[in-house]
Amino acid sequence: MLAWDFSKLVILANLIASPTAWWLMQDWLTSFAYRTDINFTIFLLAGLATFMMALLTTFQRAYSAAMSNPVDALRAE
């Protein structure tokens, strides 16, 4: 459930940022004499990498919380 909450935020951020960045880069590159086209797959790969990092971080934190001793947490409070 926690992973899905973070995943929704990462997907929403990528849906907002990728088209915006693509449009700004296309607009900026038109002023150059020698320009290249920006392929949208670069943004898809960056979004996938961000999504995977968020999932791995969430799973690692959940695993460490599940394996920790609750007595140690109560003793610290």
Residue 71 domain-assigned?
Answer: no
Answer yes or no: are the C-beta atoms of 67 and 27 closer than 8 Å.
no
Residue 36, phi then psi, degrees to nearest 5:
-125, 155
Residue 33 domain-assigned?
Answer: yes
Overall number of domains in the chain: 1
pLDDT of residue 77: 65
pTM for the complete prediction? 0.73
Answer yes or no: are the C-beta atoms of 58 and 52 closer than 8 Å.
no
For residue 2, is pLDDT > 80? Answer: no
Structural domain boundaries, residue 26: 2-65
Residue 72 domain-assigned?
Answer: no
Residue 77 domain-assigned?
Answer: no
| Long-range contacts from 62-71, C-beta under 8 angstroms, 24+ separation | 62/2, 62/3
In whole angstroms, give the CA distance from residue 41 to residue 25. 14
Compute the mean pLDDT over every residue in the chain, rounded to the nearest whole number.
Answer: 87
Residue 55 domain-assigned?
Answer: yes
